[in-house]
Structure 1
Amino acid sequence: MTVSRKQTGPVLGCIADDFTGATDLANMLVRGGMRTVQTIGVPGTPDAADADAVVVALKSRTMDAADAVAQALAALAWLRAQGCRQFFFKYCSTFDSTDAGNIGPVTDALLDALNELPGSDFTIACPAFPENGRTVYHGHLFVGDVLLNESGMQNHPLTPMTDPNLVRVLQRQTHSKVGLVRYEAVTKGPAAARAALDALRAERVRIAIADAACDADLYALGEACADLALVTGGSGVALGLPANFRRAGLLAQAEQAGRLPGVDGPAVVLAGSASRATNAQVAAWRVDKPSFRIDPLALARGEALVEQAVAFAHGHFNGAQPQPVLIYATTTPEEVQAVQHELGVAQAGQLVEQALATVARELRTLGVRKFVVAGGETSGAVVQALGVQSLRIGAQIDPGVPATVSTDDTPIALALKSGNFGTVDFFSKALKHLDGVVS
């Protein structure tokens, strides 16, 4: 693959508030022809010279707002040092946050830090991802055919979303004036969308929720945001960004931007999310494939579930007919609430994440080289446990979920899935995809 452009190194620098969100965004950029690298946290040294875009994956979605801001600013400083010309703050397409943050505080801090750049006085906030059923209309977020607060997200254990009006949600998190880019302007195309942005800026709006109901709306918004220093949203709005750099002569056509090296070895599926989608995926797998459940209450009692899970997996991939297994802590919202009531919200989540992370580390030692992981927090814990520093982003498995391969000397293949993403047969599909990764 030959890519020629006027700038050496990345032109777009991205900050994601969780690991699966980072791969979701990177997937969109690869689809747009941008060679994309995802780092796990802020790298210590420059290592992105051969990429068009870099996505720094943080684990900041549910941490204290001040800590989330500090991490985002550290990521921004590193991305600026790589020569990036525009920046993107990526959060979940269901706008996961609380009244304390973290979307508002991080957006404010990034705009403040970029204040010497043109276009740093204003940005949009657009979580829409129509391909996965997330749309925004008159400022209200829909998941499929229902409002956000009727989608199951109202039961999220850490960031329950009970208000579908994103203008209200974001205004509670920020001192900046929040406005709305209405669908009636967006649907008319880039020029009308840009005029709507300019009108809001004249009204001293600093952050505007942007309506979008289809990919054409996202392309229009992406083009309208070409001159902004910072864009924020879900991965969907990134659809329109690569073409801006191409039009500016900073990015050439890049065929096979998602080409990955091959990886051989056993595989495992790890699921820590309690979302509806992941529950359905776990149930589909368990019909005819081996699985092992990790019970948080049993973990809290000190039962050796990690050791049992490792032995269970090893027995299946080390036999005469090797089989991938599912190791899961997924359960219903009611059971999650019961566990949280007994253990506390933070401890319950940490127990599961650390258990699955330890399982992953032990299985890698035993030769596992392919990991499918469900859940943003779980994915973050797993990649940290595996010591992964950065990932090459490959082709899409399901909307928002690409195949990836680590850049280690002994690479591993990973599919890191947001809890809400993927078809019911995602686990099997992802394993087949990772098996088919070729050089």
Structure 2
Amino acid sequence: MLLGVIADDFTGASDIANTLAKGLPGEGGLRTVQYLGIPHGKAEPDVEAGVIALKSRSIEAAAAVEQSLAALRWLLGQDCEQIVFKYCSTFDSTPQGNIGPVAEALARALDVKGVVVCPAFPGAGRTVYQGHLFVKDRLLNESGLQNHPLNPMTDADIRRWLRLQTTGGVGHVDIATVREGPASIKAALRKQDNTLVIVDAITDDDLVAIGRAVASCRLVTGGSGIAISLAANFIGRGLAAGTGAAVIGMDGPEAILAGSCSGATREQVDIHRKDHPALAIDVAGVLDGSVTAADLTSFLLANRGRAPLVYSSGTPGEVQAVQARFGRETVAAALDGLFASTARELVKAGIRRLVVAGGETSGAVVSALDLGALTIGAEIDPGVPVLLSGGDEPVALALKSGNFGAPDFFTKALERLAGR
């Protein structure tokens, strides 16, 4: 294995696995496999990039560090030359962690400094300028992410945010240096006494330049955009052939589970339910036991062939009201459990195409299904590939981060999962 990725959630893992498998246009990517948790035993010998999906974004920082270091040990055991710590392009975290503590712990374990921190993903409207993170034309804390139910982002200055999470200083490489090219970026990183360094990026070309500059770095951190040219580094050295994503598809009964409350997912839900069966989850009913996984499963199975959807996506006001009544952690745990149980019953009943919206929801679902390694297929929308499990009864999956995907994502995803 050439490159190993530690991702802090399951949709983020799919996102960067897609980037590595796709590679740069005309050059191809790496043979990439996504692992749901830390694997047991050795990787298959033909795997060039291994992406370990953890569910560590919103847990206690100490536990996130412990899980990430365990993932690092496994990847180093596969002889990986380079490690990437992948987090959300909207830098989802709190002043207590977990991005800073995990990044610092990985850097200490690998004994490196001047580690790139770059959540930019221009294709999805995320850019970094003067150390500030933007979502399209809005500062992060004015983009709606300040209302995130688990990790509200109230400051767009990610240098300042990281300083709250870390023990050392945080450096910065500005866009002017990035535009001078890989040699200048590399020189600026080498001068750093700081462990972590925010690097500006506004376009994909900026990310390509950063990727070229870190070709020999043991550790890189960022959103999936940081990996745009990492595959090309290995292909250029003759260590990989540039095969790219597999051609896969699985037709069969379908279901959609949406647990994200992001603006993008709410729009997707509104569009989809106009022409397809859709069931809104009564969160209070989930908490008092009157709404169960059996109810969701029954609705979805009764509407097979019609792209049925169940969703808990609410407006920021609705989410805050429910959290105030029951408690944030209680609500999150109840919904995770509900979606996990529903997914298990669906697959047991023969569902073979499953679309899941929301990072926490996706993590709960795939953990419950215990599907093992996933093969990376074609891209559905930027950052969201087709995934296919192994075994005698494979399941095709689309795991969508809340803010990703076009307005018609749900119907498009089901078609792509079927290979159409």
Q: Secondary structure at the match of 2:39?
A: coil
Q: Secondary structure at the match of 1:351?
A: helix
Write out per-residue CA displacement over residues 301-359 of structure 1, whole angstroms, 9 at most, x where no aligned residue: 11143222211111111xxxx22200111111111111111111111011111111111
- Rounded to whole Å, the distance in 2 between the matches of 1:262 and 1:284 is 25
Q: Secondary structure at the match of 1:251?
A: coil
- Rounded to whole Å, the distance in 1 between the matches of 2:249 and 2:143 is 38
| Structure 2 residue aligned with 1:67 | 63
Aligned residue runs from structure 1 range 43-58, under 5 A:
43-58=39-54
- Rounded to whole Å, the distance in 1 between the matches of 2:121 and 2:44 is 27
- Rounded to whole Å, the distance in 1 between the matches of 2:165 and 2:212 is 27
Write out per-residue CA displacement over residues 97-132 of structure 1, whole angstroms, 9 at most, x where no aligned residue: 1111111110111111112xxxx2231100000000
Task: Determine if contact 1:260/1:404 at 8 Å carries over to the other structure.
Answer: no
Task: Determine if contact 2:248/2:419 at 8 Å carries over to the other structure.
Answer: no
Deviation at 1:262, TM superposition (A): 3.4
**What amino acid does structure 1 have at the position aligned with 2:151?**
T
Within the candidate set 221, 224, 227, 2:210 is matched to 221
**What amino acid does structure 2 have at the position aligned with 1:338?**
A
- Rounded to whole Å, the distance in 1 between the matches of 2:236 and 2:346 is 46
Task: Determine if contact 2:31/2:47 at 8 Å carries over to the other structure.
Answer: yes
Within the candidate set 103, 126, 146, 2:118 is matched to 126
The reply to whether residue 146 of structure 1 matches residue 130 of structure 2 is: no
Moved over 4 A (4+): none
Within the candidate set 281, 296, 305, 1:309 is matched to 296
- Rounded to whole Å, the distance in 1 between the matches of 2:205 and 2:371 is 36
| Structure 1 residue aligned with 2:186 | 194
| Structure 2 residue aligned with 1:87 | 83
**What amino acid does structure 2 have at the position aligned with 1:243?**
A
Task: Determine if contact 1:40/1:56 at 8 Å carries over to the other structure.
Answer: yes
Q: Secondary structure at the match of 1:197?
A: helix
Task: Determine if contact 1:372/1:431 at 8 Å carries over to the other structure.
Answer: yes
Deviation at 1:51, TM superposition (A): 1.2
**What amino acid does structure 2 have at the position aligned with 1:250?**
L
Deviation at 1:248, TM superposition (A): 2.4
- Structure 2: runs of 5+ lacking an equivalent: 24-28
Write out per-residue CA displacement over residues 227-266 of structure 1, whole angstroms, 9 at most, x where no aligned residue: 2110000000100211111222222232xx2114432320
Q: Secondary structure at the match of 1:121?
A: coil
Q: Greater shift after overlay, 268-277 or 184-193?
A: 184-193
Write out per-residue CA displacement over residues 52-102 of structure 1, whole angstroms, 9 at most, x where no aligned residue: 100000000010000000000000000111111110000000001111111
| Structure 1 residue aligned with 2:381 | 398
**What amino acid does structure 1 have at the position aligned with 2:280?**
R
Deviation at 1:408, TM superposition (A): 2.7
- Rounded to whole Å, the distance in 2 between the matches of 1:97 and 1:258 is 30
Q: Greater shift after overlay, 206-215 or 301-310?
A: 301-310
- Rounded to whole Å, the distance in 1 between the matches of 2:380 and 2:242 is 22
Q: Secondary structure at the match of 2:57?
A: coil
The reply to whether residue 410 of structure 1 matches residue 397 of structure 2 is: no
- Rounded to whole Å, the distance in 1 between the matches of 2:242 and 2:92 is 34
Task: Determine if contact 2:107/2:195 at 8 Å carries over to the other structure.
Answer: no
Q: Secondary structure at the match of 2:375?
A: strand
The reply to whether residue 96 of structure 1 matches residue 92 of structure 2 is: yes
Q: Secondary structure at the match of 1:97?
A: coil
| Structure 1 residue aligned with 2:26 | none
Within the candidate set 323, 340, 344, 1:357 is matched to 340
| Structure 1 residue aligned with 2:18 | 27
Cα RMSD after superposing both structures: 1.1
Deviation at 1:198, TM superposition (A): 2.1
Q: Secondary structure at the match of 2:183?
A: helix
**What amino acid does structure 1 have at the position aligned with 2:286?**
L
**What amino acid does structure 1 have at the position aligned with 2:3?**
L
- Rounded to whole Å, the distance in 2 between the matches of 1:18 and 1:126 is 17
Task: Determine if contact 2:251/2:417 at 8 Å carries over to the other structure.
Answer: no
| Structure 1 residue aligned with 2:256 | 269
Within the candidate set 408, 412, 419, 1:425 is matched to 408
What TM-score do you get using the length of structure 2 for normalisation?
0.97
Deviation at 1:38, TM superposition (A): 0.4
Q: Secondary structure at the match of 1:373?
A: strand
**What amino acid does structure 2 have at the position aligned with 1:227?**
S
The reply to whether residue 180 of structure 1 matches residue 172 of structure 2 is: yes
**What amino acid does structure 1 have at the position aligned with 2:349?**
L
Task: Determine if contact 2:114/2:190 at 8 Å carries over to the other structure.
Answer: no
Task: Determine if contact 1:294/1:305 at 8 Å carries over to the other structure.
Answer: no
- Rounded to whole Å, the distance in 2 between the matches of 1:158 and 1:213 is 27
Aligned residue runs from structure 1 range 334-373, under 5 A:
334-373=317-356
Identity %, equivalent residues: 52
User: How many equivalent pairs are there?
Assistant: 415
Q: Greater shift after overlay, 322-331 or 69-78?
A: 322-331
| Structure 1 residue aligned with 2:268 | 281
| Structure 2 residue aligned with 1:5 | none
